[in-house]
Amino acid sequence: MNAPVVVTERPAEGVGLIRINRPEARNALNLEVRRLLARHLTEMGDDDAVRCIVLTGNDKAFAAGADIKEMADASTIDMLLRGTQKMWRTIYACPKPVIAAVSGFALGGGCELAMTCDIIIAGESAKFGQPEVKIGIIPGGGGTQRFPRTVGKYKAMRYVLTGDLFGAREAAEMGLVSEIVPDAEVEKRAVAMATQIAELPPLAIQQTKESVLRGMDASLETGLTLETRTLQMLFASQDQKEGMAAFIEKRKPKFTGR
């Protein structure tokens, strides 16, 4: 039996790739997949050789939601003990940039998983949605929180209250998708962008991500203070000295993450 999550350490220099691999279930997110995603993202987050991560599925589905068969007969206590909220937090807490390469369906938990990433590259025929209301529940991995924070209350309500799906073009117009590419080029484009990011100074990249995420949950004044302090701190790094020296000397910098 194939592993439900496959890790490719080096599709390009400095890039890690994690693939959800349950094609028979349209990459539905059962507990095993969630645990493996959390574990692999944690490991790559701690690996200095990995500077950017691509998370993907296959050409039919990024992830078509939670595994309904696994939870259909669950009790309240069963759901509590599953601890999925801890796994979502672990995934979201990865310090490295994570790019979601979305082909096919990204529904329910799959859409929420994409929203935990930092950049979303979508194929032209990709389909997104939070259809949980159609089976008597609500989105439980950020769909009622990250979705409206990203696209606004009225667009989010239109989809979480109807369960309707929407395409890549509308997702981009709403601000949910970073870039749309032809279906056959989704993973290639995500790896290329990850490679571009991996060539940049790791400390600056990680601190940029943290500054954006922490600032979104704070007041503007608090966010600006965080930004200023982070900028000042990076002047203690070797990469700052190297980057500015290379700029002045008109040469390519060599960043070490120090």
Distance from C-alpha of 62 to C-alpha of 114, rounded to nearest angstrom: 9
Q: Choose the catalytic residue: 25, 64, 66, 126.
A: 66
66 counts as catalytic? yes
**DSSP symbol at 107:** E
Alpha helices per DSSP H over the chain: 31-46, 68-71, 76-82, 84-92, 109-116, 146-151, 153-160, 168-174, 186-198, 202-216, 220-234, 238-249
Buried (b) or exposed (e) across 103-133, using 16+ Cβ within 10 A? Answer: bbbbbbbbbbbbbbbbbbbbbeebbbbbbbe
Distance from C-alpha of 12 to C-alpha of 14, rounded to nearest angstrom: 6
Q: Choose the catalytic residue: 64, 112, 114, 156.
A: 112
| Phi, psi angles (nearest 5°) of residue 244 | -75, -35
Structure tokens at 247: 């700029």
132 counts as catalytic? yes
Is 6 strand, coil or helix? Answer: strand
109 counts as catalytic? yes
9 counts as catalytic? no
Q: Choose the catalytic residue: 109, 123, 141, 243.
A: 109
Q: Choose the catalytic residue: 132, 198, 204, 243.
A: 132
Q: Which residues are catalytic?
A: 66, 109, 112, 132
